[in-house]
Each structure stands twice: as C-alpha cells, then as structure tokens.
Structure 1
Amino acid sequence: MTTLPRFYPIFDHVDWLERLVPLGIKLVQLRIKDTPEVEVRAQLKAGRDICFEHGAILVVNDYWKTAIDLGCDWVHLGQEDLDTADLETIRAAGLKLGLSTHDEAELDRALSCKPDYIALGPVYPTILKKMKWHQQGIEKLTQWKDHAPNTPLVAIGGMSVERAPGAFNAKADCVAAVTDITLNPDPEARVREWLEICG
C-alpha cells in the first residue's frame, strides 16, 4: 500500500509552490483551471522542478498527458476526467493515480481502477467551488476507510488545522487543504501549523 504524507495542500498556481514547498511540504497538488495549455505546461514543469529540489511529491490535477510528457510521478483525476483519461497509458508511464469520490457509486468505480489513493469530499462545506454534494461529514470518512482499508484515504473540503484531528480520528490517512492556507493572512505560518499537527 502506498504511504502518503499526512498533509496535502492544493494550489492553483506554481507561485504557491515556490513560496511554500521549501517550508517542508512533502506532498502537493497543482490544480490549474482556465489557463492556456502552454502556460499550464510551463507551470507544471516549474512545479516539478521545485518539488524535485525539495524532495516533495507533485500531483498533477487533470493534465495527465502533460504529466507523462514532463516525467511527473502522480496524477489526480476527478470522476469526469475518468471518462476520457487513458488509464492504461497512465499506468504504463509509471504514474501513480489519485481519484476523487463523492458517493458509493463513485467509490466503487474508483476502486475498480486500483488507485493509489482516493479522496472523499467535501467533508465540510467548501467555498472553493460549487458542487452538487453538500458536506459529507467525518463519519463518511470512516465508512470509506472500512470499505477500502488498503487504499489511502484523503479528506478534502473545508479542512483546517483545527478540523484535521477529527479527520484523522475518523480514519483519514491524509488531509488536503486549500483555502485554509491561501486565504490565510500568513500562509507561511499556517503551513507550519499544518506540518506540526500532521507531523
């Protein structure tokens, strides 16, 4: 079974990686939306190099072909991405795979792909994007982990330093954070808090 670092920040621009990965982040995702593909590629290449320099894992959201071209190690796909992604090609390239799940049908579909982790969200209400799923609650983390005990489980959505212990107690292996860092008045200090509580 893949072992993940317990802290998993997700950022929408490589500038965040340049700023925060050197603090000790060991697992990070670049989730770039509404950006020309040439710029996406440049950001992913820069993110790859930053993570390599600091011994961190870069997870590329969605752009699996570019991830393969750039020699990245991980890709994360949403359920919609699964409709068009070539999983055989992704696996043949040696990439590890993370998948989003929101309900039991999606969980079953994800597990059939033998992912290296599954993410459940939103655990709490999130302001990041409009979703048809309301908060799942930490109890669902326990249900997911009991259903798939050998697959690492990531809690995402409305997560904060204060909420992380509850997610770990509910059997999450890893906690993802977005706005708790990016909207914080001192992102560096917040990352240090995350690293301490997830250490």
Structure 2
Amino acid sequence: MRPYPDPFYPVVDSVDWVRRLAALGVGTVQIRAKDLAPAAALALVREALAASAGTSTRLVVNDYWEAAIEAKAEHLHLGQEDLAEADIGAIRRAGMTLGISTHDEAELDTALAVDPDYIALGPIYFTTLKAMRFDPQGLDRIGEWKKRIGSVPLVAIGGITLEKGAGVFEAGADTIAVVSDVTQNADPEARVRDWLALGKRYRKG
C-alpha cells in the first residue's frame, strides 16, 4: 500500500502544474491558490481533479474545504486559520483525508486534537516564498515533532531544496513538501525526476 502522502509532495498554484506533475508520475500534489471567491475555488478544484483523473496522482486541496466536499475531492490540507473555521465533522463525513500545518507547540496540540492524517511542520529553512511569522525550524525540530506524533506522517516544508532533502529525511521527516525548488527551477521536469528518485530512497512502507 502506498504511503500517504508520498515522500515527494509538490505544492503548486495552477491546474497546468497539476497536469504537468501528474504526467511525470508524481504521487501526491497539492493545489494551493489563495484568496479565491467560493465559485472560483470550486472551479479550480474541479479542474485540478479533472487534470489528475486517470493518473496515479492524489490531489490535495489546500484550505477550500467546502469546495473540496462539493467537488468530491479525497484529500484536504488546512492551515491553522482555516482549521479554526472549518467544519471538521463535515470533512470527516465526506471521507477526506486531512493534513494540518503547524509551526509551534500550541499549533501542534490543536492539530493533533482533530486526529489528522499527517502533520506539516515549517518553515524548515528560510523562505522568500511568503511572509512567515515564524523563524526557520531547523532539522532538530523535525526530530522533536516526529517523536511527539509517532506514527502520524510528518511533512517538512519551507525552503527545502533537493540538495538539502536527504538531511531532512534523515532528521525524521516522512515527506518533503516542495514549492519553488520545482516551480522556479530552470528544468522542472528534471528536478521532479531527481526528487522522485530521492523520495524512493527514503520511502517508508
């Protein structure tokens, strides 16, 4: 049985990226596009699901839980603010998996209270992708988080490049979520293939 999420877990903001990654055989892809109106969010989710249909790619919807339910998505990821407002009961009744972002001990406690399918920790390294309220977590924090959550998969995210990937896995991460190291790479297809090879080396289960 394939682990969820896969060791390599790209996060992208367009259906075109979902389509490209699915064609390359990426097992888990998150669609994350911020500040959409409900109708636009639903359209995006439906298009992304269509782009990954018939492939081995499991599509994860970021934040838009109502659209995810309506579009019959199978996987959802929530940040802390969205978690506070989401109807967890409705999400569970829809049968979706649920991953939660965390940045400190209080957020980890909040996340664990909803029995998530995975916990994300970030940013591991400095990132310019978006403004962060939290300093880089570093590799030691990965080990600490993994001890606390036990068998729950741990996803590391934030400033992680392929060159740093082995160290992140060896620190205790089950999965590495990647954004700019793929989407801003001069040869994203080659980068994805290298990430898939690295993930295969560290895949558990």
Aligning the two structures, in what range does the TM-score lie when normalised by the shorter sequence? over 0.9
Secondary structure of 2:99's partner? Answer: strand
* Equivalent runs, 1:10-21 vs 2, <5 Å: 10-21=11-22
Offset at residue 52 of structure 1 (A): 2.4
> What is residue 101 of structure 2 aligned with on the other side?
100
Q: State the AA in 2 paired with 1:103.
A: D
| Residues in 2 aligned to 1:165 and 1:29: alpha-carbon distance in whole angstroms | 22
| Residues in 1 aligned to 2:3 and 2:55: alpha-carbon distance in whole angstroms | 18
Unaligned runs of 5+ in 1: none
Offset at residue 10 of structure 1 (A): 0.2
Q: What TM-score comes out, normalization by structure 1 length?
A: 0.96
Count of residue correspondences: 198
Offset at residue 25 of structure 1 (A): 0.4
Q: State the AA in 2 paired with 1:47.
A: A
Unaligned runs of 5+ in 2: 201-205
Q: State the AA in 1 paired with 2:66.
A: K
Is 1:136 matched with 2:140?
no
| Residues in 2 aligned to 1:36 and 1:107: alpha-carbon distance in whole angstroms | 29
Is the Cα contact below 8 Å between 2:52 and 2:58 reproduced in 1? yes
Secondary structure of 1:55's partner? Answer: coil
Q: State the AA in 1 paired with 2:3.
A: T
* Identity across the alignment (%): 48
| Residues in 2 aligned to 1:67 and 1:182: alpha-carbon distance in whole angstroms | 24
Offset at residue 187 of structure 1 (A): 1.0
Secondary structure of 2:168's partner? Answer: helix
Q: Write the deviation string for residues 112-139 of structure 1: whole angstroms up to 9, x where unpaired.
A: 1100000000000011110110100011
Q: State the AA in 2 paired with 1:3.
A: P
> What is residue 49 of structure 2 aligned with on the other side?
48
* Equivalent runs, 1:71-82 vs 2, <5 Å: 71-82=72-83
Is the Cα contact below 8 Å between 2:22 and 2:56 reproduced in 1? no
* Equivalent runs, 1:118-157 vs 2, <5 Å: 118-157=119-158
Offset at residue 44 of structure 1 (A): 1.3
Computed over aligned residues only, the root mean square deviation of the Cα atoms, in angstroms, reads 1.2
Is the Cα contact below 8 Å between 2:77 and 2:99 reproduced in 1? yes
Range that drifts further, 90-99 or 48-57: 48-57
Offset at residue 55 of structure 1 (A): 1.7
